[in-house]
Amino acid sequence: MNDVTARILSRMITVGDFVSGEALCRECGITRSAVWKHISLLRSEGYSLDAVTGRGYRLSGLTGRPVEAEVLSFLAARRFGRKIAYHPVTASTNILAKTLAVEGVAEGCIVVADSQTGGRGRMGRTWVSPSGVNLYFSLILRPGVPSIRVPQLTLLVAVALHRALSDLSLDLAPMIKWPNDILANGKKLCGVLCEMQSEPDLTHFVVVGIGINVNQSEFPPPLHESATSLFLETGQLFSRAELLASVLNHFEPLYDAWLVEEDLGFILSFLQAHSLLQSKEVTIDQLKRSISGTVRGISRLGELMLDGAEGEIILVSSGEAHLRTSSSII
């Protein structure tokens, strides 16, 4: 969508009623026939528009696509998401966001894509990113904290995701799986990949990459065993624009509180109450070793606290957690 089309869309969303063709001509500095072309373009992109002689144009339906104008219409956050770079397709929103961050864009800017050709997951995995169905976005942050605190952001994002999903009032019971997943019925719904550029005492920027499986109707094998979407869990379709805004609306106040707090203490009870791993036997796979134990909780610094076999307390700061059942590891 070009800038003028986006501007016309924004105007009609904001007004929420008829906007005269004359007003659109004036505001955008274009002719009547150019306005008509932009209206046709919007229709071809799926927007329903009424055109009534003497009254002008009125938007009667949104598409739910996470384009700037639609996201802004649901956004309450004051800094996060106020600037959105939307791409129909890109390799990875995290890669684009890192480039923008290096160029100096302000905290709160987000990069959103309708699809990714090289979506990145944790541990070098790929994040399958088909078009038209899910959310893939990256938020640029510039927290003035030592880099050792940055991994805590992943858990804060998990809280924001949990709250945004809970606001949908579905029979979903999402659970947070330390450190970066949201699961529903044991399958992955959202993933978070935080990447940063820093020195030990100084964080230059953090890119928070978030993937949410929203309206995807099937997953290829073997992913179908471990991944799910809101659509698959509920049978309903969701506005990606509204959900994206909701995540940012929840995350901004959490982030602001976290900046003034020493640690995650202020949100620990929420994290533990919604933690999939709480009191479970787990194995944590790290690059060079695996650690097993029973989950005692999450520390104020965001580590997973395990009770080891000898009764010792083990603090784990990173890794991939697997639930252990009597016969298998999930």
Q: Token pair 């995290």 is at which residue?
A: 94
Q: Are 157 and 208 in contact (CB under 8 A)?
A: yes
Tokens of 144: 């003035």
User: Which position has the token pair 């060079």?
Assistant: 288
By beta carbon distance, the residue nearest ligand BTN is: 191
Nearer to ligand BTN, 93 or 215 (CB): 93
Single out the segment in contact with ligand BTN by CB under 6 A; choices: 52-60, 133-141, 152-160, 263-271: 133-141
Determine the Cα–Cα distance for residues 105 and 124; give it in Å rounded to an integer: 27
Under the binding rule (CB under 6 A), the answer on residue 32 touching ligand BTN is no
Nearest partner of 140 among 113, 165, 104, 116, judged by Cα: 104
Q: Does 258 bind ligand BTN (CB under 6 A)?
A: no
CA distance linking residue 149 with residue 153, whole number of Å: 8
If the CB atoms of residues 47 and 127 are measured against ligand BTN, the closer one turns out to be 127
The answer to whether 152 contacts ligand BTN (rule: CB under 6 A) is: no
Amino acid occupying residue 44: S
Q: Which residue, chain included where needed, has tokens 């016969």?
A: 327
Closer CB to ligand BTN, 115 or 283, in the complex: 115
Q: With respect to ligand BTN, which residue has the nearer C-beta, 307 or 320?
A: 320
Size of the site for ligand BTN (CB under 6 A): 21
Among positions 167-186, residues that touch ligand BTN (CB under 6 A) are: 180-181
Q: How far is the CB of 190 from ligand BTN (least distance, A)?
A: 8
CA distances from 100 to 92, 203, 207 (A): 13, 16, 10
Residue list 208-227, contact with ligand BTN (CB under 6 A): 209-211
List 5, 94, 215, 275, residue binding ligand BTN (CB under 6 A): 94
Per CB under 6 A, which region of 118-126, 218-226, 252-260, 281-289 contacts ligand BTN?
Answer: 118-126
In the complex with ligand BTN, the residue whose CB is nearer, 56 or 151, is: 151
Binding flag, residue 122, ligand BTN (CB under 6 A): yes
3-state secondary structure 33-73: HHHHHHHHHHHHCCCEEEEECCCEEEEEECCCCCCHHHHHC
Residue nearer to ligand BTN on the CB measure, 48 or 185: 185
Rounded (10°) angle between helices 3-15 and 21-28: 130
Measured from the CB atom, is 59 or 210 closer to ligand BTN? 210
Applying the rule CB under 6 A, the residues between 226 and 255 that interact with ligand BTN are: none
Q: How far is the CB of 93 from ligand BTN (least distance, A)?
A: 4
Buried b (16+ CB within 10 A) or exposed e, 131-157: eebbbbbbbbbebebebebbbbbbbbb
Which stretches of the chain bind ligand BTN, using CB under 6 A?
Answer: 92-94, 116, 119-122, 125, 127, 136-138, 180-181, 191-193, 209-211
